Amino acid sequence: MEKTEEKGHLHPLTQVMREIVDSFTAMGFEVTDGPEVESEHYNFDALNVPKDHPARDMQDTFWVKDVPQTVLRTHTSAVQVHYMESNQPPFKIIVPGKVYRYEATDATHETQFHQIEGLVVGEGVNLAHLERILDEFFKRLYGADAKVRMRPSYFPFVEPGVEIDVSCVKCTGAGCNVCKQTGWIEVMGAGVVHPNVLQAGGIDPRKYRGIAFGVGVDRLVMQKYGIDDVRLLYAGDLRLVNQF
């Protein structure tokens, strides 16, 4: 009986997630996780996302049946307040996980995808530290030439809120079709944790400050390997997986 001695293959989502998480554990971060079925409190209210507010439009939500105020988490940020409630600062955590959004599916949108969240809380933590941490991370992921930049953005759970761009992996900033000639690719949302969120986690915002960041893994995987349709990642198709 012929036995295939061939090894199997890890899914590119796992590979990229492990690479990202490993970069952060090498920087002293602790891996943590939370439930995919979440209360509205942890997914929205504790994160300073008010009810009936346009900010909720930024994340269309799946609700579960017959259990009030319960959703499928729309972001891994939901884990932030859980962790804060049971851990004293200082700490650095990294949270890989599956999230859900009520969105029409197409080549770049799926109802389920993966994110990785980071949260650092300590005394005197600030935006400059955020930039250094992300700079170090992207250099580990993409190489020594990788650069990051911050520009203004908004998320209800951070203030200041920023968008993080990384220098284009393909052209290293010269300009190409991947980065639409800008030399930069938008990769992450980030910012200084809003004092309301720290309070919701039982942390005094006058003593401690936090920085947080979140990245969509599926998009990174697609960019890294030139996979043009996110649905291919969930098709259970070995024609994709076995290339890795």
Partner 1 sequence: MNIPISYQWLKSHFDKEIPSPEEVSTLFMKHLCEVEGAEQKGDDTIFDLKIMPDRGHDLLAHRGIAHEVSVLAGVPMKEKAQKEISIAQVTPLRVAVENAKLCPRYMGRVIEGVRVTESPAWLRERLESVGQRSINNIVDITNYVMLELGQPMHAFDMGKLARTEDGAISLVVRPAEVGEQMMTLDNKDLSLISDTLVIADTKRVLAIAGVKGGKGAGVNEGTTAIVFEAANFDAVSTRKTSARVGIRTDSSRRFEHDISPALAGEAMSLATELLIEMCPDAKVGEVVDVLARPLKNYKVGIALSELNGILGTTLSDKEVKDILARLGFVYEVVDDPRTQVVVMAPTLVDKPYKFGASVLYDAPEAFDCASFTAYLWKEAGVAIPRMSVDQLVFGDEVILESAQPGDLIFSNSGTDNIYYESKEWMKGTKVPEGVDHVGLYLGDGKLIHASRYNKNGVALESVAESARFRNIVGVRRIAIPAEPRYVVTVPLERLDLRIKEDLAEEIGRVYGFDKIISAPLSDITFDARILKSYHYANVIRDTLVAQGFSEVFTYSFQNEGEFAVANPIAEDKGFLRPSLHQGLMKALELSRYNAPLLGLDEIKIFEIGKVYPGVMKEELSCGVGAYVAKSMKQSKREERTKEIFNEVRQAIEDVLGVKINDTQTSDAIHFNLGALLEKLPEPKSPAPFKAVSVRYEKSSAYPFMLRDIAMWAQDITQDEILAIIRTEGTDLLVRDRLFDVFTKEFDGVSKTSYAFNLVFQSPDRTLSDVEINEVMARITEKLSARGLEVR
What residues numbered 18-57 form the site for partner 1, per CB under 8 A? Answer: 18-19, 21-22, 25, 28-33, 35-37, 51-55, 57
Query: What are the tokens at 139?
Result: 């250099």
Which of 222, 11, 27, 217 minimizes the C-alpha distance to 140?
A: 27
Question: What is the C-alpha separation between 75 and 13, in angstroms, rounded?
Answer: 17
Which of 120, 51, 114 minimizes the C-alpha distance to 84?
A: 120
User: How far from chain centre, in Å, is Cα 139?
Assistant: 17
Select the residue interacting with partner 1 from 106, 128, 143, 145 (CB under 8 A): 128
Binding mask 167-206 for partner 1 (x = CB under 8 A): -------------------------x-xx---x--x-x-x
Select the residue interacting with partner 1 from 40, 91, 176, 178 (CB under 8 A): 91
The nearer residue to partner 1, 16 or 78, going by C-beta atoms, is: 16
Sequence-distant (≥ 6) Cβ neighbours of residue 108 within 8 angstroms: 219, 230
Give the helix/strand (H/E) hosting 96.
Answer: strand 91-100
Residues 221-240 that bind partner 1 (CB under 8 A): 225-228, 233-240
Residues 144-163 that bind partner 1 (CB under 8 A): 149-154, 156, 159-163
The nearer residue to partner 1, 212 or 233, going by C-beta atoms, is: 233
